[in-house]
Amino acid sequence: MFKKQAEFNLELEKKTCVITSNTDQELVKTILEKLNIQKSDLEAEVEIIHTLGKLAMKKVIILDEDKILEKGLSKLFDLKEDVLILLDTFSKVEIKELFTILVESSYRFNTFKANNAQSEVNLYYYSDNDFAAQINAGMIYGEAVNHTKQLVNLPYNYLNAKKLTEYAKELETIDNLSVKVYGKVECEAMNMGAFLGVNKGSKDEPQLIHLRYTGNKESKEIVGLIGKGVMFDTGGYSLKTGTGMPTMKCDMAGAATVLGAIEIIAKLKYPHNVDVIIAATDNRIGDDAIVPDDILTAANGLTIEILSTDAEGRLTLADALWFAQKEGATKLIDIATLTGAVVGALGKEYTGAFTNNQDFVNELLALSEKTKEKLWQMPISEGYRKELKSFSADLKNSSSTRLAGASVAAAFLEKFVENNNPWIHLDIAGTAFDEKKGGSGILVKTLAEYFNK
């Protein structure tokens, strides 16, 4: 897709050139002068200007650097011609970020369309500087985000827990990355009653997937990334509505996200130890499926009264959090399409972030500003914890009211964090998937960047 061009001559170049609107850069200034264009004439994030014979090339594409981080560059991949990107005209967007955006923008979900051939666009780039390392890193980031989008977009009949396991195993070819998978019998031996409870209505065996990246053998710190892996969510006997059930293939977006993040971390050999834990199953109605009033026993020994079988993701995460800590995780980040309540609170603009450690979440909040993957910190307080009190068990899996559901869900997960280990919960229910655009790959970059230090 990307090819390096060895030479550039403005007077002779015939490929459509991509520049920024940075008029402090001499080449940009020269091109705009030749085209008789003022910077104030440029309004869109991507402007396509016909040169009308004033240059050898027929068109120039001018980018607004302030906008492309959020808007992307999909328009470049709709062109049916070779394009040359002049890297030295970029000043605000780092080259790694630029190539991340370019690769991300190339993604199209055409897998199941009869006419799924995507026209190949040759993107050339030129620079007087050596950006090889930054370009490579940017492409790895972009490819991992696109892999995440693809996983989220695949329907359940093409991606169940077993298929997700097969995908995870393919990552084992990366240096210092190992994968171990536990089936139903092994999970029963670990008393994972919460996770297995969700699986009881399924015809597919549950899969507990554990990826371990060892980037620093001298360090005892292991950061656990726990992704919700509900491959499809019917709601169980607390059945979703006809409008609420479509798109529930995306309920494993948390799992896809942590797989994308570990792909980057391992390929770029970041110097940290990272565990990825995914408790993968679907949630459906079946002869043995759990029902409201059932009581499950989680791996940490806590008993859970089921108020709603549609509050299933937190059950799988509860045992996954326990397992992560059993395996030595000293810090925890879980990511999940967990609640509709967070969508009601924040819409599709922000991901909700909850924590028991302010310093920890401050690091992630700062990184999300850089990656443009917006986080908004949400509260957990004693009032929300009281909503989980149960007459019959140690806690309920849902509140009896519909108030503050995102915070109550986070308070539930907090019960499975041991020894006050630093923990962040990220609720991506509003940001992971769009009905018109599909999977977003949100937070893959932010999670990976946390380890780029």
For residues 125 and 137, give the distance between their C-alpha atoms in angstroms, rounded to a whole number: 16
Q: With beta carbons less than 8 A apart as the criterion, state whether 174 and 196 touch.
A: no
List the one residue out of 234, 240, 334, 330 whose CA is nearest residue 281: 234
Name the residue among 316, 238, 246, 331 with its Cα closest to residue 281: 316
d(CA 155, CA 42): 41
Alpha-carbon gap, residue 230 to 263, rounded angstroms: 20
Task: Check 96, 163, 212, 314 and give the catalytic one.
Answer: 314
414: which residues sit within 8 A by CB, 6+ positions away?
Answer: 354, 356, 380, 385, 423, 425
In the block, which residue shows the tokens 């919460």? Answer: 194
Conformation bin of residue 374: beta by default, left when phi > 0, alpha when psi is -120 to 50: beta
Our answer to whether residue 385 is catalytic in this structure is no
Give dist(CA 282, CA 367) in Å, integer: 32
Q: Which of 34, 71, 162, 240 is catalytic?
A: 240
Residue 108 annotated as catalytic: no
Residue 343 bridge partners (DSSP): none
Looking at the annotation, which residues are catalytic? 240, 314
